[in-house]
Structure 1
Amino acid sequence: MSEQPPAPGPGFGPPPPQYAPHQAPAPPSYAPAPPSYAPAQPGYGPVPPQPAAPAGPEFLAVDKRNAVVVDASGVVFEMYGLSVEFRWPEIRSVHYQASPNGKALMVGVIHQDGRFYECVVEAKPRARLQEWFPQLAWVLGHYRPAG
């Protein structure tokens, strides 16, 4: 007397037909050929890279969490991984000062519609704050001359 091995339990073997992956039908043999591209003509083709706008002065203040960038495009605040960009045409004015405890740079942007945005960047060592003030004043004066 020979014993037959037990049938495999659920989860073993090939999937039932209703769970088999769907096979896409073959395209019909009468399908039109893909369109060919016209030969390259003089004056057409890849656009050569445009020269970058002349680079102007930049200001950058960074700490562990925040950053302030002032450049030819405007002002950018980076705070806790989020970035807010203000283009020069959107900016009514830019203000800056030391924090009350003298350990950070506070930069504020007033938008054309009156909204106020602020970013605070810690200065470590504290002497760095005194380096940032003339740099920031010079860069802001370059892009937003008083007058």
Structure 2
Amino acid sequence: MTQHPPPGPGFGPPPPQYAPAPPAYAPQPPYAQAPQPPYAQAPPPQQAAAGPDFLAVDKRNAVVVDASGVAFETSGHTVEFRWPEIRGVHYRASPDGKALMVAVVHMDGRFYECVVQARARTRLQEWFPQLARVLGHYRPVG
């Protein structure tokens, strides 16, 4: 068996004078829970009462309208718009009458659109009153 020579200078742990100093702080006690106010608070958004929702979907795209806002999914990419950042939502049939076109106008004026193909024109005609009812619930005209 061959023996290797001991490592030269620079190998191994640092000498004591170069070792890091221990922390200069005392451990803190764990955080206490904040006292709860005596009044009732609104439930968090995920526990808010569920309102109506709308979903239109095809092979690649989807439009969702619910209590949180409007979401578009296009070819696997999702963008969500919360109600406070939406100036308006517009929708119509595509020029060939085979798709639903939904547009969101952002508060800063930017415009986003999603197109969902309907398998049949009757399906497209079903989407219009559903979408109108849901949008009317969250964004009443008045």
TM-score, normalised relative to structure 2: 0.70
Which residue in 2 is equivalent to 1:23?
A: none
In structure 2, distance between residues paired with 1:119 and 1:143: 19
Which residue in 2 is equivalent to 1:78?
A: 73
Counterpart secondary structure, 2:65 = strand
In structure 2, distance between residues paired with 1:56 and 1:95: 20
With 132-141 and 121-130 compared, the bigger mean Cα shift is at: 121-130
CA shift for structure 1 position 126: 2.0
The answer to whether residue 68 in structure 2 is matched with residue 92 in structure 1 is: no
Select 1:103's aligned residue among 91, 98, 117.
98
Which residue in 1 is equivalent to 2:124?
A: 129
In structure 2, distance between residues paired with 1:132 and 1:114: 26
Q: Which runs of 5+ in 2 are unaligned?
A: 1-21, 23-28, 34-42
Is the radius of gyration larger for structure 1 or structure 2? 1
In structure 1, distance between residues paired with 2:72 and 2:64: 7
Name the % identity: 76
TM-score, normalised relative to structure 1: 0.68
Counterpart secondary structure, 1:119 = strand
* Deviation beyond 2 Å, 4+ runs, structure 1: none
| Deviations, residues 49-82 of structure 1 (Å, cap 9, x unaligned) | x671000000000000000000000000000000
What does 1:1-147 align with in structure 2 at a 5 Å threshold? 44=33, 52-147=47-142
| Deviations, residues 88-137 of structure 1 (Å, cap 9, x unaligned) | 00000000000000000000000000000000000012210000000000
In structure 2, distance between residues paired with 1:127 and 1:82: 28
Note the aligned Cα RMSD (angstroms).
Answer: 3.1
Counterpart secondary structure, 1:56 = coil
Counterpart secondary structure, 2:49 = coil
In structure 2, distance between residues paired with 1:131 and 1:124: 12
Which residue in 2 is equivalent to 1:10?
A: none
In structure 2, distance between residues paired with 1:125 and 1:141: 25
In structure 1, distance between residues paired with 2:120 and 2:102: 18
